[in-house]
Structure 1
Amino acid sequence: MAQAAMRLWAYSELSDRGHARYGDTFTVRPGMLPPGVLTRDRDAIRRLFTGDPLGKRHGNDILRNFVGGQSLLMLEPPEHLARRKLVLPPFHGERVQSYARLMQQLVSGELDRIQPGETVAIHPIAQSLTLDVILQAVLGVSDATVRRRLRAIFDALNTPLNAVALFVPVLARRSRWNLLSKRPWRLKDELDALLFEHIAATRAEGAAVERDDILAMLVSARDENGDGLTDAQLRDELITLITAGHETTATAIAWGVELLLHNPAAMANARDGGDAYLDATVKEILRIRSPIPIGAARYTLEPFTIGPWRIPRDVAVLVDAHGVHHDPSIYPQPDEFRPERFLEKPPDGYAFLPFGGGAHRCLGASLAMLEMKMFLGEIITRLELAPLSASLARAVPRGPTLAPRGGARVRVLARRSPARVAADASPPEPSLM
């Protein structure tokens, strides 16, 4: 099988060239890691998400140091399905939809501070907004001092250097000789202490304080045996939600503004075409510029066949979300930004992968979709913007994502009116499978 070197900052080019030259499946060499198999074959992807002869094994080890070993991300069947069933209810559409008013208040306050004539970067604005959602809707932090401390930690951890120190395996070892890793790990320890303190306070409140945040619901969740989540399990699930839902959603919003400003017809329709068109716009943004263009590795527990290829055991197989999203047999003219394609014929579950798929689909997908619709809808409806460049920004690595270079900088021409009302269409229900 043909091989190609893989680097995150050039991932889309590698994927496009590799599939054009070798077909749906080929071998990649990801930096210092052993060679793996990259595929956009939809039958293989279906089996990757649902099949027994595959496991996570070392595939998520890069995340274990930060998210913890008891996160849903790290679990294998049958523990994975049992945990997913326990933590799923807070992410159902109706429950997630209840946060729409909060999101509108947050974005309105942020946009009120922006004045015509200013040049602003959308990405940091989106980062601030998505972090506010985490602090209030996910964690339920009402204390202003705790909120400021958590925000300071998140902001510090989100720098490129700290992200590298936490997630690059060679650097993520907690050694006293590893000077690069000391500061991010101190921040991580401080974050853990705050989370455990907040979990304990939430447990102590019990039913005495009425709360509708996700943490409060997870604390009260019980399985069929009456057992709930331990503090360590809650901490790991919260860190997973933060890691998966902060930077990725902010990056997607930044790409959304970039793409709409360079596609005026789509911008007009997104403003005036109603909720269905805005929903299609969000999906097209996630298709053409997935913040994380490659899925987590699954390891073959026994020989695994993809098309004509027989993959030996203990080999990493990676889902090429970018490759699927740019496959012309699924999406004609895949490099064109055309939200209408999601109104005409929605793709099946293994052809749209910004949140993974099957039992491994991101729990927070509904929350992320609602955030994108609310924040993006408010930004483009309330502000008249102009791009600073005639061409779309280049994608550059930012932590685990590929973000627009420069943070999606725009010029604010004028205010528009009125603001959008909270979206009335429920986000899609998450599922166990």
Structure 2
Amino acid sequence: MDKLIIEGGNPLHGEIRVSGAKNAALPILLACILPEGPVNLSRVPRLRDIHTTLKLLDILGCETSFEGNEVKSTVCNIQTEAPYDLVKTMRASVLCLGPLLALKGEAKVALPGGCAIGARPVDLHLTAFEKMGATFELDSGYIYGHCKKLKGANIHFDFPTVGGTENVLMAASIAEGETIIENAAREPEVVDLAEFLIACGARITGHGTSIIRVEGVSSLKGCDYTVMPDRIEAGTYMVAAALTDGELEILDCPFQELDAVVYKLREMGVWINEDNDRVIVRRQGELTGVDITTQPFPGFPTDMQAQLMTLMCLANGAGTIEEKIFENRFMHVQELVRMGANIKLKGRTAMIRGVDKLTGAPVMASDLRASASLVVAALAAEGETEVQRIYHLDRGYEQLEKKFSAVGAKIRREKE
């Protein structure tokens, strides 16, 4: 198991490039089960979750290769079981359920794992597929699904679930008839999946809105496709530039997908200037605390609340963060307090009062975004910080320590 050793207090300066979006690449990779021809994907980040997904695709009957940031996949002989040993480490694995049901009429998928940030039940997925004609049994930690042929249906989600929308979107692409998804998730990663499926021949309209219509086709073909840049990675770099009082030029930045984050950063006193696909970020005077509530897109993303909380730790005055997506996503708070932060928790609300400085300390990462928040906190802290259990970080950030080192950070990876 690895850890990061970070000597803080060095302003970051220079260019830093955003990798492909993990949360877009994972469903797109699992959608590679559907096309009959070869798929060539570009800008795929080299992450632990990506490698896990490729292992799963191999087990499910796809031949894959991964060179640089390009993945090639060809369907050979589709199998219908996603085993626990792979699914337990990554929640996105459940997204193979829809494609397998649509293609083969059956699926055996282990109940998923992933970050320990609260309950994320798959009930909404199963209810949607039942409306499309599937039946399910839950036994010994596995979902057993069966159907003769999935058929289009009107699906209304009680909550705009990203995974549920993606799962239904893939299955509906080759289901019989029309599927209408109401209260659909509007996240850019859902849009990217829809665009990939369209490139494969799917008939989809309304993606990016709360109502998506899918007219099923008999089959999909292979295609070449480039995964969108990672908006959460880009947002993390914005926070790092402001925290360290440096200036970063962020390349391949999906600026339009970061509206809510940019709005709050500017409200705090961060100067941000967009020029095509590059964005320049630096602190402009003193930082000021703000109030944030996490919401589904286009609201403020839950995946950025830990990083903004860290920035607020060094801002003037006080601010609050209300977490409305996951009930257990404040596990980074106690680690930031160990570094000198002044944060109080009350239910799902964190109250942050700015302090003069953070101080290096041994800290432990509890999930992916908590890891990122502790790393950027360490970049700004006085002295040395040891961030332990960074395997979470490796699930979502491609070569983060190398990218930060290239812009002036004193950061190195060691074995624990």
TM-score (norm: length of structure 1) = 0.27
**If each structure's strand is expressed as a fraction of its own residues, which one has the higher value?**
2
Higher helix share: 1
- TM-score, scaled to structure 2: 0.27
Higher RCO, Cα 8 Å, sep 6+:
1
